[in-house]
Amino acid sequence: MSINYSPPLPISKNGQIKTEYGPPYVAKVRTTKENAAASSILLLGHDTTELEVLATVNTAGKWLSQAVVDAKTATSVLTVAATANYDFMIEANKVRRLVVPISTHKASSGSAMGINRAEGLFPAVAYKTFVDAGVGSVMTIQL
């Protein structure tokens, strides 16, 4: 049985989950990609279990396996909207939190292994804005 690897949401003094609040953690990594014409690949840290993403225009994302990362796939791994191959959408000017899904079976645990690898989570994500090429920003934090 797998552990709940995602960071918990903040809880109020009366025990209610605070769903409209930011995560009670300092970001491990912050990334900003602006006006990319092709999709961008974001490699996740070894301890990343969740992402918080702000997209300034409609954006699609796709989880990338270690095999895709190792193959050094072309710069743009997301196709155009007509032949879309994305896993999730983020509406323009919305913040969305995404728990990194499990990609493979868990690896044997090691003392220097982060939770991302130990739980077999996807190691990377690609995202692309669905507007005219060269317009739009995507900002992420890894939790």
Q: What is the pLDDT of residues 97-122, one digit of tens each?
A: 999 999 876 656 666 778 888 888 99
Question: Does any domain span residue 19?
Answer: no
Tokens representing 72? 């050094």
Give residue 114's Cα distance to chain centre. Answer: 16
List beta partners, residue 121. 102
Within 8 A by CB and 6+ apart from 130, the residues are 57, 58, 59, 60, 81
Question: Does any domain span residue 133?
Answer: yes
Question: Does any domain span residue 106?
Answer: yes
DSSP 8-state symbol, 120? T
Answer for the pair 116, 46: CB distance below 8 angstroms, yes or no.
Answer: yes
Domain that holds residue 73: 29-142
Question: Does any domain span residue 33?
Answer: yes
* Cα–Cα–Cα angle for 134, 31, 35, rounded to 5 degrees: 5
pLDDT at 66: 85
Question: Does any domain span residue 105?
Answer: yes
The domain tally of the chain equals 1
Question: Does any domain span residue 4?
Answer: no
Question: Does any domain span residue 16?
Answer: no
pLDDT < 70: residue spans in the chain: 1-3, 35-39, 72-84, 105-111, 131-135
What is this structure's pTM? 0.79
End-to-end CA distance of the chain: 23
The Cα–Cα gap between 100 and 116 comes to 8
